[in-house]
Amino acid sequence: MINLLNFTHSDLVDFFKQWGEKPFRASQILKWVHQMGVVDFDQMTNLSKVLRQRLQTETTLTLPEVVTVQISQDGTRKWLLQLSCGNRVEMVFIPEDDRGTLCVSSQVGCPLNCSFCSTGKQGFNRNLEVSEIIGQLWLAEHTLRQQGVRAEEHGRVISNVVFMGMGEPLTNFNNVVKAIELMRDDFCYGLSWRRITVSTAGIVPAMARLKATSPVCLAISLHASNDELRNQLVPLNKKYPLDSLLAACREYVKDDERLKLTFEYVMLAGVNDSVADAKALVKLLRHLPAKVNLIPFNPFPNSGYTRSSQETIDNFRNILLTADIMTITRKTRGDDIDAACGQLAGKVADKTRRVVPIVTV
Ligand code: SAH
């Protein structure tokens, strides 16, 4: 059976052509599925009965299955999702006054093994399909809409998507780009590229490809301002050291002043948070149109790291601000349900940790 959720608009047009159907069938299906939240062909009343029947027998619209939903005291929600073959991933919804951000996963586990990230500790299992990525947005948008959760200023619940869940999106390039295409499609979610952020540890060649095929906001997980330390924290640095990473960053924003970069920097006590580290970071970023997000380290069992003190984080931030580098400290959201950056594990009821289903859908 063909899962139509894996298809972009143009894939669907081609697909219907092969069936001898008109191209506009593609936009009809996309509207039903992504705008109205309908995944039952029988309810798609502007399609002929014969077509509905054929879709029913030869295709599916299969979404990830929701295992648990946890709701944090601050309103953040984390879903544990079941994929085919028993794989599980997590996604997180972060409501704010003026926006609703969905943090999606792009892989089961992660191949990069950053030393301070709990996802990395699990190793890598597989890439997510397009349907499993866009399915996360579908599930969040339509289940929250049904529950009457609405962002204030616009009709939709999810106004922003960040690829900051499990996985390294740029090592699942084709599926991530196709999912972004669906997110941006006016017959689906109509999200502007400015509201979609891909976060990468720095897969240098893929950054140029992203700009060429699907320019969106780019966040770089920097975390260190010299190669020696970054090799330890982000082992990918051995393959793509800082020089090459920063050159790729400069290329990403070259000739298009609308494109901006965000550098993520996890604050690890006594590791990368000294005054000298801050000054080295200033030197590194001085000539880039960049802002910096300082992320207080989110702990997990046996990580071996602790979070920098608030005073250290404030001092670090002030050094960057004084050098005219726009810097914010990311608010920790959802840490009471292990939904904060780097805490997504995607495991349930295993021997070491039990996730208690607070709401089961
Ligand atoms: N693979 C992508 C997406 C990772 S998650 C990337 O590396 O960018 C998004 C951010 O959370 C990254 O900057 C990541 O380095 C950071 N992160 C990972 N573990 C963390 C932790 N325990 N505490 C705080 N931030 C963490």
Residue in 94, 107, 114, 306 to alter for ligand 1 test, most ligand atoms within 8 A of Cβ: 114
Q: Parallel, antiparallel, or unpaired for β 88-96 and 99-103?
A: antiparallel
pLDDT given at position 86: 85
Is 216 within 8 Å of 198 (Cβ atoms)? yes
Is 192 within 8 Å of 183 (Cβ atoms)? no
Is 305 within 8 Å of 273 (Cβ atoms)? no
Q: Which residues have a Cβ under 8 Å from the Cβ of 221 and sit 6 or more positions away? A: 114, 199, 200, 201, 202, 234, 264, 266
What is the residue-wise DSSP string for 170-239?
Answer: GGSHHHHHHHHHHHH-TTTT---GGGEEEEES--HHHHHHHHHH---EEEEE---SSHHHHHHH-GGGGT
Residue in 199, 262, 267, 271 to alter for ligand 1 test, most ligand atoms within 8 A of Cβ: 199
Biggest distance spanned by C-alpha atoms of the chain: 70
pLDDT given at position 347: 53
Q: Where are the alpha helices (DSSP H) in the chain?
A: 9-18, 24-30, 49-58, 130-146, 173-184, 204-213, 227-233, 242-253, 275-285, 310-322
Q: How many C-beta neighbours within 10 Å does residue 243 have?
A: 9
- Give residues (CB < 6 A) around ligand 1: 114, 116-117, 164, 168, 199-201, 221, 264, 266, 295, 297-298, 341-342
Q: Which two tokens stand for residue 23?
A: 């191209």
Is 41 within 8 Å of 52 (Cβ atoms)? yes
15 burial class (0-12, 13-18, 19+ CB within 10 angstroms)?
middle
pLDDT given at position 346: 62
What is the residue-wise DSSP string for 68-91?
Answer: EEEE-TTS-EEEEEE-GGG-EEEE
Q: Which residues have a Cβ under 8 Å from the Cβ of 315 and sit 6 or more positions away? A: 275, 278
The model's pTM is 0.94
Pick the closest to residue 234 from 275, 263, 191 (CA basis): 263
Distance from residue 167's CA to the centre of ligand 1 (Å): 9
Residuewise pLDDT in 10s, the chain (361 residues) = 999 999 999 999 999 999 999 999 999 999 999 999 999 999 999 999 999 999 999 999 999 999 999 999 999 999 999 998 889 999 999 999 889 999 999 999 999 999 999 988 888 999 999 999 999 999 999 999 988 887 655 678 999 999 999 999 999 999 999 999 999 999 999 999 999 999 999 999 999 999 999 999 999 999 999 999 999 999 999 999 999 999 999 999 999 888 889 999 999 999 999 999 999 999 999 889 889 999 999 988 889 999 999 999 999 999 999 999 999 999 888 888 887 777 776 653 333 333 333 332 2
Distance from residue 67's CA to the centre of ligand 1 (Å): 24
pLDDT given at position 322: 97
Residue tagged active-site, from 117, 188, 249, 341: 341
Examine the residue annotation and report whether 90 is marked as an active-site residue of this protein: yes
